[in-house]
């Protein structure tokens, strides 16, 4: 706290003279007196339960409106929250009998022309700095209940090159897992904050976008943005029906248990 000094400053000058002989005035050294008084400023913070909007993973201080099929799900409640997670779309692809790796489409936004890598966003507004853990689980294999071949047996999603980003200053960053392979029914760690780390809003951005040449449904080659760090591997031996297969990812955020 900056101390503010409130003081009174009084300067006294005496003029000496005699009636018989004129003399010059002699100044007396100024005497300065004062006192100090301390007052206080105070502000208090409490945990914030308000929902947090998704932020730009490239510029985490900027709110954004991401596009997802059916609209983004609302964030989880409370001061320790998952605010957003990208839905991962691998596009439309030709049926193949050889092993294939498909890349994720970018995360798009209401802002026209804006695209980024896929990401998940977490906020810790508890104000206690006790850490947290984020995990993800693929609930079941890619499936379509109405298709002849109902599941994509042996298919694996991989999330690579996760990087933590935030607009928070002076805060220890959480740790990201650099390569996450999803096995249906199994929860796997994605990002974690140790005791004293991870306060504020953080995004885990999976890689970046690259131009990839594809052959579209009309058989024409074109260059499109893809996230080559988010991949779906599908075995060639797995039969496929000409349908859309879907899988659900569940993200779980938990407090770090105290010792």
**pLDDT by residue, tens only, the chain of 259 residues:** 444 333 333 333 333 334 444 455 556 666 778 999 999 999 999 999 999 999 999 999 999 999 998 888 899 999 999 999 999 999 999 999 999 999 999 999 999 999 999 999 999 999 999 999 999 999 999 999 999 999 999 999 999 999 999 999 999 999 999 999 999 999 999 999 999 999 999 999 999 999 999 887 788 889 999 999 999 999 999 999 999 999 999 999 999 855 4
Q: In 3D, which of 86, 88, 84 has the Cα closest to residue 76?
A: 84
| 3-class SS string, 17-83 | CCCCCCCCCCCCCCCCCCCCCCCCCCCCCCCCCCCCCCECCCCCCCECCECCCCCCCCCCCCCEEEE
- Compute the C-alpha angle 219/224/227, nearest 5°: 125
In the three-class reduction of DSSP (H, G, I as helix; E, B as strand; rest coil), residue 84 is classed as strand
What's the confidence (pLDDT) of residue 28? Answer: 61
Contact 75, 81 (CB under 8 A): yes
Q: For tokens 């409490």, name the residue.
A: 46
What's the confidence (pLDDT) of residue 200? Answer: 98
Listed in sequence order, the residues at least 6 apart from 32 whose beta carbon sits closer than 8 Å to its beta carbon are 9, 10, 11
What's the confidence (pLDDT) of residue 27? Answer: 61
- Compute the C-alpha angle 64/67/72, nearest 5°: 90
Task: Record the tokens describing residue 135, joined without a space.
Answer: 């995990």
Cα gap 189→177, rounded to integer Å:
7
Q: For tokens 């080659």, name the residue.
A: 221
Contact 148, 200 (CB under 8 A): no
């Amino acid at each position: 706290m900056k101390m503010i000094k409130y003081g009174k400053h009084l300067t006294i000058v005496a003029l000496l003279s005699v009636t018989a002989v004129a003399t010059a005035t002699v100044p007396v050294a100024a005497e300065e007196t004062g006192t100090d008084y301390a007052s206080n400023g105070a502000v208090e913070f409490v945990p914030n339960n308000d929902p947090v909007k998704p932020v730009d993973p490239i510029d985490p201080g900027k709110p954004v409106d991401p596009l997802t099929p059916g609209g983004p799900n609302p964030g989880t409640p409370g001061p320790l929250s998952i605010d957003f997670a990208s839905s991962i779309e691998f596009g439309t692809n030709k049926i193949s009998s050889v092993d294939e790796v498909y890349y994720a489409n970018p995360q798009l936004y209401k802002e026209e022309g804006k695209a980024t890598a896929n990401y998940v966003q977490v906020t810790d507004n508890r104000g206690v700095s006790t850490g947290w853990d984020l995990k993800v689980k693929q609930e079941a294999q890619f499936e379509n209940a109405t298709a002849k071949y109902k599941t994509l047996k042996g298919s694996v999603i991989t999330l690579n090159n996760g990087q933590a980003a935030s607009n928070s200053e002076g805060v220890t960053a959480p740790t990201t897992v650099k390569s996450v392979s999803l096995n249906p029914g199994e929860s796997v760690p994605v990002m974690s904050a140790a005791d004293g780390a991870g306060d504020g809003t953080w995004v885990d951005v999976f890689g970046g976008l690259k131009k990839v040449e594809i052959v579209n449904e009309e058989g024409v080659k074109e260059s499109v943005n893809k996230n080559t760090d988010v991949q779906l591997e599908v075995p060639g031996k797995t039969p496929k029906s000409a349908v859309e297969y879907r899988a659900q990812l569940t993200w779980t955020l938990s407090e770090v248990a105290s010792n």
